[in-house]
A and B are shown apart, each in its own frame.
Chain A
Amino acid sequence: MMRKKLIAMLLAGGQGSRLGVLTNRMAKPAVPFGGKYRIIDFPLSNCVNSDIDTVGVLTQYEPLELNAYLGTGQPWDLDRLNGGVFVLPPYMSGNNGRWYSGTANAIWQNTAFIDRYNPEHVLILSGDHIYKMNYSTMFRFHLESDADATIAVLKVPMEEASRFGIMNTDASGRIFEFEEKPKAPKSNNASMGIYIFKWDVLKRFLSEDDKNDSSAHDFGKNVIPAMLGAGCNMMAYAFNGYWKDVGTISSLWEANMDLLTDPPKLDLYDKDWRIYSKSAVMPPHYMGANAKIERSMITEGSEVYGSVCHSVVFASGIIEENAVVNDSIIMPGAVIKRGATVNKAIIGEGAVVGEGAEIGCRPNESDPEFEATLTGDITLVSNNVEISDKKRVPRGMIVTGSMVDKLKVKDGMN
């Protein structure tokens, strides 16, 4: 087999618990985004557009949806003779079998896969970021500086730096210190969780890390500090462009809204850097005689008869007459019935909002008690939940199947 220069390993095992009910039945990278995409389309399309033709996708949590979505990899042009996309779940070997206990451990357990392609370098990616990045530019930088590891960094606002892993570098970009979520950050070069390693060097460190029982087997916490400690040549590659971790409800909502600014913060219309996805087989969308729409994204299979403002509507979403949707995300197949109002909400796949119902309304005393720590002021209706007519869902609530019956009817209605 031809030796590969660079292959990619995509960490897609995360449960994404901070995405709440959206990830009840699917791993975070499979969560829909931007009208017709899923989060994983971004790193996968970046790989293909960067001429990387071999991608291992490490899955662990609720992999069915992700497996089914990836299929042969054909939508991303990753059905190749030598290479392609591979789903890599944890497995039994002899009498032993282990779940992936951390990001580094996940790669270590797939050493055999990587060795099969015998690459000189390995690119490690995570499956929960929305961005467009040319990995081949980073790879060139990695080769030119003859680094053992190159870590992509992004300048973040200084006040937010304490939420990230911070890389302190000298003028040439060489990393001399790494601080995980520092209280008093010395710089604002935040790690984006994108690494290129020399495979022989990484393998050595993963092997040592595996023997260390006190390690969390995590790249950021263990492997990177160990390599720094051993005096490896580690470089920071500065990325400036749009990048968003969509690990929380509010960041997922924001990232969708970033597509609607003028000009969009994230430009998907670049013909030279297309984002590929598995397309639903759907006719064009239809806008009815009384439809009103502005600053919104609508995709195939949808029908809009009501009003949609500053929102993203996924495939087969239906907005009926006199329904009003503002600042919201309507996931695939969701239906907003006649006269319903949806404000700043995420309506899950296949969910139905009944006639005249109000989602994201001002809370009052009659509403059932709920916890809004996950969502803030964004209201979340879970996949396939049906909200009956005229029910009110106060701002910030997460509506699951068990919550539906507790909802109150709107004021002045019986």
Chain B
Amino acid sequence: MIFNAFGLVYTAESNLMLRELTNSRSIAAVPYGGRYRCIDFVLSSLVNSGISNVGLIMQKNYHSIMDHLGSGKEWDLNRKRDGLFILPPFVTKENTGIYKGTVDALHSVMGYVRRSSQKYCILTGSHTIYNTTFNDMLKQHIKSGADITIMYSEEKSFNPDDQFDDLRLTMDASGRVVELEIDPYRPKTNYQSCDVFILEKSLLEYLVEDAYAKSCYDFTRDVLIKKVGTLKIHGYRYDGFVARLNSVGMYFSKSMELLKKEVRDELFNQEHPIYTKVKDEVPAFYGRDAKIVNSFVADGCVINGRVENSILFRGVHIGKDVTLRNCIVMQACEIQDGSELDYVIMDKGVLVKRGRRLSGHNSFPVVLRKGMTV
């Protein structure tokens, strides 16, 4: 267990490629995996590592993430000593509340960082999904004597359309990073950052204050990439399942991978489970005419129609004679009798009335925005 580190999660990423899914919420609050939000994965990984001090840097649209987290009880982060710290922006004489970049955001939460008593900081983003513990990574960080350790995974496929803050690592034989590139036109390596960095708190303070003093605002572009020669940066290889929710296409394909047993077993490893807000839903109910194939279904669903290759979040109602294929249906959607839907992502609370037909394609799933009626 890690007792000498705190977690700092940056949830202010904005990514237009997620289209309607981030209209009214930050990426951290995007629902994923039938009953979770994106943030649950990084939070659970931190908590399961033994970390009990976590700060969340908020920027805009953070209503839904605050609503989700509450006091942090579900993640066991409602503590007297440390716990969950929500760090929203605030207006000062040098800051309008809109961060110019990650350095700006980190600078504004330096008060929290200074008060944290732990030696190490685990700095993460919030749009990457994985289930791990950081114990081995911290061990490697200490043993290698690195200034900064970056968690990466090997990604063999590359699609420029899904590129979003794509940080690539080139390493020498010792694992030291010799070059970093962000959003490269032609990546030199398959080693892509998972948006997890371990460094000492004192180094973080220095790097942020130094960059801020020089009017540099982006931690990756202005600090890591520029200092790759002077700082000792190491890579830590992660071989588990990783989903970067960079675009609707990625969101769709990485959701559908949950239909594979090996992916589910890994992402929902019961030895370090993923925690989320409890909703007290009833178990799912299947009616007399239900037909369901290869699907992932949360509690509270009532299914009377046909469902194939789909993911149903909590409290979804599927009417009679409905055919649903290759769909992601978020919380509390209702699909009325006789509708046919194929390759559709339905955000929370969508109502599809009787007999409607909608069809997208694997390469372009239809997205219905939150609360819409079809």
**Interface residues of A, Cβ cutoff 8 Å to B:** 34-36, 74-75, 260, 262, 268-269, 274-277, 279, 281-300, 303, 312-313
Inter-subunit contact B288/A294 (CB<8 Å)? yes
For chain B, the count of residues having a C-beta within 8 Å of the partner chain is 36
Known A-B contacts A287-B295, A294-B287, A300-B298; the reply to A279 vs B282 at CB < 8 A is no
Chain B nearest Cβ from A76, distance in angstroms: 10
Inter-subunit contact A279/B283 (CB<8 Å)? no
A197 to B254, CA, bound (A): 59
Residues of B within 8 A of A281 (CB): 273-275
Please give me the 8 A-B residue pairs with the lowest Cβ-Cβ distance, nearest first.
A35-B283, A284-B34, A299-B283, A284-B298, A283-B268, A268-B282, A281-B273, A297-B283
**Interface 1/0s, chain B 288-304, versus A by CB < 8 A?**
11111111111100100
Is the CB of B239 closer than 8 A to any CB of chain A?
A: no
Q: A284-B33, A293-B286, A298-B284 are in contact. List 20 more A-B contacts (CB 8 A).
A: A36-B299, A74-B73, A275-B282, A276-B280, A281-B274, A283-B33, A283-B35, A283-B267, A284-B299, A285-B297, A287-B296, A287-B297, A291-B292, A292-B291, A294-B287, A294-B289, A296-B286, A297-B286, A298-B283, A300-B283
Inter-subunit contact A295/B287 (CB<8 Å)? yes
Residues of B within 8 A of A284 (CB): 33-35, 296-299, 311-313
Inter-subunit contact B297/A279 (CB<8 Å)? no
Chain B nearest Cβ from A172, distance in angstroms: 39
Inter-subunit contact A286/B295 (CB<8 Å)? yes
A283 to B294, CA, bound (A): 15
Within 8 A of A (CB), among B255-287: 259, 261, 264, 267-268, 273-275, 278, 280, 282-287
Inter-subunit contact B297/A34 (CB<8 Å)? no
Chain B nearest Cβ from A301, distance in angstroms: 8
Residues of B within 8 A of A293 (CB): 286, 290, 292
Inter-subunit contact A283/B264 (CB<8 Å)? yes
Q: Which of B33, B34, B259, B284 contacts A297 (CB 8 A)?
A: B284
Chain B nearest Cβ from A305, distance in angstroms: 10
Listed A/B pairs (28) with beta-carbon separation below 8 Å: A35-B283, A36-B299, A74-B73, A75-B278, A262-B288, A274-B280, A275-B282, A277-B280, A279-B280, A283-B296, A284-B33, A284-B35, A286-B295, A286-B296, A287-B293, A287-B296, A288-B293, A288-B294, A289-B293, A289-B294, A291-B292, A293-B286, A295-B287, A295-B288, A297-B282, A297-B284, A297-B285, A300-B299
Residues of A within 8 A of B284 (CB): 285, 297-299
Q: Which of A276, A290, A294 contacts B286 (CB 8 A)?
A: A294
Known A-B contacts A287-B292, A287-B297, A289-B293; the reply to A296 vs B35 at CB < 8 A is no
Residues of B within 8 A of A279 (CB): 278, 280
A295 to B283, CA, bound (A): 12
Determine the residue in chain B with the shortest Cβ distance to A303.
B261
Chain B nearest Cβ from A289, distance in angstroms: 5
Chain B nearest Cβ from A5, distance in angstroms: 26
Chain A nearest Cβ from B4, distance in angstroms: 26
Inter-subunit contact B34/A283 (CB<8 Å)? yes
A290 to B282, CA, bound (A): 25
A296 to B292, CA, bound (A): 12
Query: Which of B259, B299, B312 has the largest number of chain A CB atoms within 10 A?
Result: B299
A295 to B297, CA, bound (A): 16
Inter-subunit contact B278/A300 (CB<8 Å)? no
Residues of A within 8 A of B290 (CB): 293-294
Determine the residue in chain A with the shortest Cβ distance to B33.
A283
Task: Tell me the interface secondary structure of chain A in the complex.
Answer: loop
A276 to B33, CA, bound (A): 23
Q: Which of B274, B289, B295 contacts A283 (CB 8 A)?
A: B274
Known A-B contacts A262-B287, A284-B299, A285-B297; the reply to A300 vs B35 at CB < 8 A is yes
Determine the residue in chain B with the shortest Cβ distance to A277.
B280
Residues of A within 8 A of B268 (CB): 282-283
**Interface 1/0s, chain B 333-356, versus A by CB < 8 A?**
000000000000000000000000
Residues of A within 8 A of B273 (CB): 281-282
Inter-subunit contact A299/B34 (CB<8 Å)? no
Chain A nearest Cβ from B294, distance in angstroms: 5
A2 to B293, CA, bound (A): 56
Chain A nearest Cβ from B152, distance in angstroms: 26
Q: Which of B282, B293, B302 contacts A291 (CB 8 A)?
A: B293
Known A-B contacts A283-B264, A287-B295; the reply to A269 vs B282 at CB < 8 A is yes
**Interface 1/0s, chain B 151-169, versus A by CB < 8 A?**
0000000000000000000
Inter-subunit contact A298/B286 (CB<8 Å)? yes
Residues of B within 8 A of A262 (CB): 287-288
Determine the residue in chain B with the shortest Cβ distance to A293.
B286
A285 to B313, CA, bound (A): 11
Residues of A within 8 A of B298 (CB): 284-285, 300
Q: Which of B35, B286, B291 contacts A295 (CB 8 A)?
A: B286
A129 to B285, CA, bound (A): 23
Query: Which of B282, B288, B313 has the largest number of chain A CB atoms within 10 A?
Result: B282
Chain A nearest Cβ from B308, distance in angstroms: 9
Residues of A within 8 A of B278 (CB): 75, 279
Residues of B within 8 A of A269 (CB): 282, 302
Residues of A within 8 A of B33 (CB): 283-284
Inter-subunit contact A298/B274 (CB<8 Å)? no
Residues of A within 8 A of B296 (CB): 283-287
A36 to B281, CA, bound (A): 9
A276 to B282, CA, bound (A): 9
Residues of A within 8 A of B288 (CB): 262, 294-295
A293 to B268, CA, bound (A): 24
Chain A nearest Cβ from B99, distance in angstroms: 34
Inter-subunit contact A36/B283 (CB<8 Å)? yes
Residues of A within 8 A of B282 (CB): 35-36, 268-269, 275, 297
A298 to B303, CA, bound (A): 11
Chain A nearest Cβ from B272, distance in angstroms: 10
Determine the residue in chain A with the shortest Cβ distance to B298.
A284
Chain B nearest Cβ from A142, distance in angstroms: 29
A74 to B312, CA, bound (A): 28
Residues of B within 8 A of A283 (CB): 33-35, 264, 267-268, 274, 296
Residues of B within 8 A of A298 (CB): 283-284, 286, 297
A299 to B283, CA, bound (A): 5
A228 to B294, CA, bound (A): 62
Chain B nearest Cβ from A238, distance in angstroms: 28
Determine the residue in chain B with the shortest Cβ distance to A299.
B283
